[in-house]
Structure 1
Amino acid sequence: MSRWALAALPLVVACHGGEAEPYAWRLPPHFPEPWVPDDAPMSEAKVELGRHLFYEERLSVSGTISCGTCHVQALAFTDGRATSIGADGHAGTRSSMTLANVAHQPTLTWGNPVLDTLEAQALVPLFLDVPLELGAQYVIVDVLEEMAADEYRARFVDAFPDQDDPFTVGNVAAALAAFQRTLSSGDSPYDRHLRGEPGGLSPAAERGLALFESSRLRCAGCHGGLLLASDMRSADDPEATARFENTGLYDLGAGGGYPPPNVGLFEFTGESTDMGRHRIPSLRNIAVTAPYMHDGSIADLDGVLDHYAAGGRTLSDGPWAGVGADNPNKSPLVAGFELTAAERADLVAFLEALTDEAFLVDPRFSDPTAG
C-alpha cells in the first residue's frame, strides 16, 4: 500500500460521529490547546483505550512489537536506533521521530507534506507494506474479534458509546491518535526559564541559548518557537504549516542527490529543488533521542554540531560519498560557523536543558500492563 493511499484511507475508515464529553487538557501552563479535527472528539475513555492499544503487541503480525517498541517513553518516544525494526525483523528506512508534543506538529513524518492528522498517521505503521512496520493488515480482523470478546470490549464501548459496533480499524486509529495528542512535554529547565521560574537554565545553558539564537550560528532560524521546530499548530492556529529543509547531509554525484528512498519532499512534488528537503524536527528532549537526522546517520550531538559547523557533511568514500556543503538545494541558513571548545560545551548544555525528565517517566503515558 502506498503512502498516498494511506493518507486517503482515513476518509473512508476513520470518521465517526457522535458527541463526547468535554476533555480536560493537562497541558504545560505556557502551551496552547492543540488543534483537534472536528470528527475526532477527545474523551478520557478514548485516550485510555489508545494508551492500551499503543502498547498492544497483538496489533503486529508477529505478536511481538507494538507502537511502543519504536516509540519508547524513556527516549522521548523514539527508539535509539538509526532506523526502526519492523515486525518482520527488517530495518526500515527512516529514524523514529519523537512523539513529544506531536499534537502540535503541522505534519507528522519526515517527508510527507499531506499527512497531517494523527488518525491518518496511525494507519501508516499499522498497515504500510514497504517497509513493513507492524503488519496489522494480516491480523487485524482476528484481533478485533478477540478484543470484542475480552477486556477490550468495555474500553471500546466506553470510547465510542454511540456506535453499535465500535470494533473497527477507524476506531483503532482514532484511539491511538487521541492518546498521542496527550503526549505534552513542557517542563524542561528551558521551560522553567521561559516561565521565569527559579532553577531554570544554568549559566552554561544560558550562554548556549544566546549562541543558539545568535546571527552567527542561526540555529533558531529553523528551530524556533515553543517547539524549537519550524511551526506550531494549535486550536488558535489550525492552518500552521511545516517547513522542509535540505541541510547538506548528502550530495550524491555533486548534483544534490540523496540516498533513496529518503529523498524527502521530492518524493511527493517531483521538483528537483525539493530533493533532500525533510521536515524540521523539534529539538525538545533532543539529548535523549540519538541517533540523529532522518536516517539516523549521525550518532551524537557532537556529530550534529560538526555537521552544522561545516555547513554540511562530507563523506569521503562509500556509496553516498559527496560534499554536502556544496549541495545546490541546501538551505542558506546552513552556512557553517566556528565554535571554541567552551562555546561547544555551552551549546550542548543548552540542548541538554531541553530534556523534560518528568515526561520521560510520566505514568499517564506508560505501558498500562507493565509490572
Structure 2
Amino acid sequence: MNALFTLTKKKKKKDNTNQNQIEVLTSHILKGLLKDRATRACWIELLEKPDNITSDTIFDKRVEDSFKDWLMKEEQKKSSFPSKVVELLNVSHILDRNRGKRSRELQLDNDVWTSSDVEDIDKHADPKLQLWEKVFSYMKNIPQKTKLDTKNMEKTSEELCRNFEYCLRCRLWFQHKSLMRPDLRSLLTHMCTSLAQDSMLFSIKLCKFLTHHLEHICDLVSPSTELEQPIASIRDVIHEYEQFSKSIGKFNQTQASGYLNSQDLSTSLNTLAEESRTWEYQSFVQVKQHYVQDLQVLTELDSIMDITLRLQQSVAFGDIWSECNAKCKDLELPKTPFAVFKQVFKDSKSMWDNYAE
C-alpha cells in the first residue's frame, strides 16, 4: 500500500498537469481498500494516521471524504450502519466526529443489527474503555422499569404493549450472551411478574396483543425457570380471553347480520354490545366479572350462533329465516334473552334440513 501512495506522490511532483490522473488513481485505490473487511483494515490505518503515508492535504481530504461516503451510505443489512460502527470502534475520534444524527441507528431495537454484530461486541467489548462506554450510551435505549398500577389503565396498557414490542425488536440481544442481555431480561421479568401478581393489569388491548405475541415473548426467555410460573399465569389469562373474545365476536356478528332483534337483548346485553366497541383500556378481569351472567348465556348459544353464521351466505336460508321470524311475531314467547332467536333458529333449521334433503 505504501508503494502505491509513494507512486502517486512522485507522479504529482513530476508533472502537475497529471492532477486528474492522480485523483483517478487515488479514487481507485480507496475503492479497492473498501471492498472487504480485510482491506478496510489498511484504509482504517489511513484514517487514524494519514501522516504515516503522506502529508498531502488533498489526499487527506480524499480519505476523509471516502470515509464519510462509506459510513453514511445506505446499504444492505449485511453492511448496516451499526455493523460499520462495530468495525470502526478503534477510531473513536473519527467515529464521534461523523456519527451525527445516525446515532439512533445504534439503538438496540434497530432491526438492522445482525448476529455477527452482536457476537463481535460480545467478543471485543470492554465497557471500561471510554470508546465502548460512549458507544454503549448510543445503543442502550432500554425503557425504564416503572410501577404498574390499575389507576390509569390506558397509560399502563400502552406502556406494557410498547415495552413488550421493544423486547421483541431486541430478540437478537436476548439470544446472544451480551452486556445488554441482563438489563433486557430484567425489564421483561418485571413486566411478566407484575402481570402474574395482579391480573387486573390485563386490559383488553393488552390481551389482544399477547394473543398474537405471547409465544414469541416466551422464546425470549426460554429456558428460564425464574419466569416459568409467571408465564404460565399469563397463558391462563390469555386462554380465558381467547374464549371470551370468540363469544363476543360471534354475538356482535350475529347482531350485525340482523338475526337478533330488540326482544332478544336484555339491558345488560345491549350495554355489553355498546361497550365492546370502546373497552380496550378496561380491565379484562373486571369486564368478565361484570358480564358473567351474559357471557354464560352466550356460551350456551355458541353452537347455535355458529350454525347461523355459517348458513347466512345462503340466500335460501335467509328467506327461510325471514319467514320463520315473521311467524314468531304472533307467538307468545318468554320475555327472556334470545327467546325469539332460539325459536326462529329451531324452526328455520328444521325447514332448512327438509329443504336440503
TM-score normalised to structure 2 length: 0.21
The structure that has the greater radius of gyration is 2
Higher RCO (CA-CA < 8 Å; seq separation 6+) = 1
Given the two structures, how large is their TM-score scaled by the length of structure 1?
A: 0.20
